[in-house]
Chain A
C-alpha cells in the first residue's frame, strides 16, 4: 500500500533543522548547564530518524551520505586526541585546558578543551545510534 505522506515529508524537512539546531544548542549549553554531547547526539539522531520515517532509508542515505562507522571512529579519535593531548605537554592524561578569549561577534567567551572532547562524544553517539537503527531497518 502506498500512502501519500506529502505533509509528513514537508514538515519533516523543516522540523529536522529545528531539532538539529536545538541539538547544537543543547550541545553547547552542556558546558555549564544540563546538556552536552550525549544528549545532543541523541537528539540529532532522533532528527535523522524523523527523516527516515518520513522518507525511507535509501533516500535518507542519499541525502546524508555518511558512513556512520567512520563517524564513530572519528568521534573516538577526537575524544582520545583531546584527552591524550595533555600527555604531550607533560600533564596527566585527560587534563583539560581552558581560557577566556575575546572573539569578534560572541564577545568574551570561555573556550575549553572539554568541548572538543564532547564533540567526540557527540559524533560517537550519533554514529552508534544510527548504525543500530540502520542495521535493524535495512532488512525488511
Chain B
C-alpha cells in the first residue's frame, strides 16, 4: 500500500511541477492545488496504514488508525483551500489589470510597467 501511495504522491508532484512550470497563470494555480494534494496524501502515507477502525472513541476498539495525520490533513486542506481561493481572485484581478495571464509577460522591471 505504501508503495502505491508513494507512486501516487510522486505522480501528483510530477503533474504539479509540470503545471507550475507552464506559462499560463491558471495552470500554475491548478498546479499548486495538485502540489498540496500530493503533500496531504504524503502525510496520510507517512502516518502509516495501521489500524482499521476510525479513530472515534468507542468501547473495545483498539485497532484504530492514527488520528493525528487526519487532523493535520484537515488543517492543511482548509489552509490550501483559503490560499487557492485567494490566489484565484488575485489571478483574476491581475488578468483584468495587466490584460494577460502569460507569466513570461509579467517579468518585473521598471521599463515594462
Interface of A toward B, CB cutoff 8 Å: 32-33, 38, 128-129, 132, 135-136, 139
Contact = CB atoms under 8 A, between A and B. Distances in A.
Interface of B: 56, 74, 78, 82, 85-86, 88-89, 92, 96
Nearest to A33: B56
Q: Binding site of A, secondary structure by majority: helix, strand, loop or mixed?
A: helix
A129 B85 contact: yes
A78 B60 CA distance: 36
16 contacts: A32-B56, A33-B56, A38-B74, A38-B78, A128-B82, A128-B85, A129-B85, A132-B85, A132-B86, A132-B88, A132-B89, A135-B89, A136-B88, A136-B89, A136-B92, A139-B96
Contacts of B92: 136
Contacts of B56: 32-33
A139 B93 CA distance: 10
Given A128-B82, A132-B86, 13 more contacts: A32-B56, A33-B56, A38-B74, A38-B78, A128-B85, A132-B85, A132-B88, A132-B89, A135-B89, A136-B88, A136-B89, A136-B92, A139-B96
Contacts of B82: 128
